[in-house]
């Protein structure tokens, strides 16, 4: 038996299927990550073919059947399609990066409304251009790591709990931030730049970031990628960020 259900969704990716159809990967508010088939999507007469496109925020109707791996889409309306984001390659790279992280970090059918609202909010900020897209992306990345159980611990020393952002500090990918004194008791510590640490804390606390250099903004993304690769060996980095010409 199939039931007709309605939910909001973000289109993570889309591919051609058969002669005229498409299969899309969606992150939905009510059912988590699911795949849907849009029959006849590539026919010029299709009502939903153009609407179901990567990064669009939709209200959708599905014929849902638990036993089916790919659900059948029966209706879709645009809530937001972020036109400014799609016309700017730099913004687009980071928005694709958001979709790529969600595809990588969430299991099928894992429902998380906080992450859903987070994606909608972050795409809207990237679209608005209110701050550099790499900062907005950094905010999402650090939030998503926490929500999916890969939190980076940068608030205080993981061993003694002291907060001293003026001395030598290190990072251990299992434990988190380690102060100079505690390095004696922990192996595998990496130097962490103080500026980077301050910036990561701004992202984590969702504070205004002020004037950090572009180098620090990039270093933070690389740091989070390295952290994730350490904890999730299948993760190969965010390929969207390498798309198009780097500045």
Contacting positions for Zn ion (CB under 5 A): 157, 159-160, 179, 182
CB of 231 to Zn ion, least distance (A): 22
CB of 219 to Zn ion, least distance (A): 23
For the record, the structure tokens of 95 come out as 């928005």
Question: Between 92 and 157, whose beta carbon lies closer to Zn ion?
Answer: 157
3-state secondary structure of 22: strand
CB of 194 to Zn ion, least distance (A): 15
Please state, in angstroms and rounded to a whole number, the distance separating the CA atoms of residues 224 and 28: 25
Question: Between 9 and 158, whose beta carbon lies closer to Zn ion?
Answer: 158
Q: How many CA atoms lie within 13 A of 106 on its CB side?
A: 28
Q: Helices (DSSP H) in the chain: which residue ranges?
A: 83-86, 89-105, 113-128, 133-147, 194-204, 214-231
Question: Between 122 and 177, whose beta carbon lies closer to Zn ion?
Answer: 177
Question: Between 182 and 197, whose beta carbon lies closer to Zn ion?
Answer: 182
Q: Are 23 and 37 in contact (CB under 8 A)?
A: yes
For residue 215, the tally of other CB atoms under 10 A from its CB is: 11
Please state, in angstroms and rounded to a whole number, the distance separating the CA atoms of residues 134 and 114: 21
CB of 54 to Zn ion, least distance (A): 45
Q: Are 188 and 167 in contact (CB under 8 A)?
A: no
CB of 177 to Zn ion, least distance (A): 8
């Amino acid at each position: 038996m199939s039931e007709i259900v309605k939910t909001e969704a973000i289109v993570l990716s889309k591919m051609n299927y058969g002669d005229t159809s498409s299969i899309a990967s969606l992150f939905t508010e009510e059912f988590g990550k699911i795949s849907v088939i849009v029959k006849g999507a590539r026919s010029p007469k299709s009502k939903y073919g153009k609407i179901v496109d990567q990064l669009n925020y939709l209200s959708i109707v599905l014929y849902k059947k638990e036993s089916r791996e790919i659900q059948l889409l029966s209706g879709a309306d645009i809530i937001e399609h972020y036109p400014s984001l799609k016309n700017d390659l730099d913004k687009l790279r980071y928005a694709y990066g958001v979709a790529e992280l969600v595809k990588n970090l969430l299991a099928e059918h894992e429902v998380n409304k906080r992450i859903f609202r987070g994606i909608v909010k972050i795409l809207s900020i990237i679209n608005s251009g209110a701050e550099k897209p790499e900062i907005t992306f950094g905010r999402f990345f650090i939030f998503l790591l926490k929500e999916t159980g890969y939190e980076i611990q940068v608030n205080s020393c993981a061993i003694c709990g002291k907060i001293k952002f003026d001395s030598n500090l290190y990072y251990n990918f299992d434990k988190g931030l380690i102060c100079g004194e505690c390095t004696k008791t922990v192996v595998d510590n990496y130097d962490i730049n103080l500026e980077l640490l301050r910036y990561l804390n701004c992202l984590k606390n969702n504070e205004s970031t002020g004037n950090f250099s572009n180098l620090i903004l990039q270093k933070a993304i690389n740091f989070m990628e390295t952290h994730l690769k350490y904890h999730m060996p299948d993760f190969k980095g965010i390929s969207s960020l390498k798309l198009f010409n780097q500045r």
